[in-house]
Structure 1
């Protein structure tokens, strides 16, 4: 009579669980050893019991070298797969970007008036509307820029006028102050008997004189008779009294 099939589930009895673990662990280690010897395979076996105790078997020179080889092979394959996936994604992205660049270059040539033969009536109308809209925006931006520059120039002009006015006022004040200082200095010199004070502008006025008028003795008198020289009022002509 053969053995019945054992249901695979956790053994609740702790003692029976420990006995079963010891038997199966020894059998597993034995099978790993036999496999490494018969097939010349490098085998590393790591077992942790329910209590946390470590059991291991390694057919190679050391467990660390076997694990290093495992990491190198496993993660190298994973990195290669990731690189393949990244390369595929990059290629797809490249194709999308290339298509966008081709469309933009074609649109640029159309805006410059090139390669319009392949376009239909609707596409030409759409291109014309886009060009008109762009032209209006360019003109509007240019107008705003010119108005802004004009406003800045007007502000600079106003500022320069104010500076000029301020400088003119300061120049007049300095000239007036210098004239007053010079006048007071001349007055002090005049009081000390050195020089005459300067004449103020407008204090004396020049008169137009007639060179034919003679003041003094009249040489054109016909003779020296005083009776003849006197007029009816008793004034001798040729003298100013």
Structure 2
């Protein structure tokens, strides 16, 4: 069975890390030389150790010339990318203008519909306002009816209390006048007796003369 893929991670042991760096660096420089010779390619390789030490390889020892070529290529690539971005920006601007114009035309075409929707919305608001006012009016009428009922009940109670008080006053007055009437009747009786005893009526005088 073949070995599984080994996960690459930092070697914690310092000595093992230095040994591995030395071996891999030598192998990398060897591979760079091989591809330069075998494929007639210009190769520039730079490796810095963890301590900052530089190890490099360049085809025919022309590192500076390869770096200058790299800078020219990088500048050209950046310039092309900038031009493409500007061109894309112009296209984006044109697209934005066309899109805005198209939206304006569509909005103008839909204007009657939007106007109808706006009017419908206004009508709906008016209907809702009228319904709300009618509801408040109904509540006020109910409150007025309740208050009127309470007032009638209060008036009825006041009238009943007034009648009751008037009846009591009349009964008190009758009880106070009764002794006076009795004494008055007795006095009239005495007067009648006195009259009868001291005064003769005309028919009685004629009777005595005969």
TM-score (norm 2): 0.42
TM-score w.r.t. the length of structure 1 is: 0.37
Q: Highest CA radius of gyration, 1 or 2? A: 2
Structure with more of its chain in helix, by fraction: 2
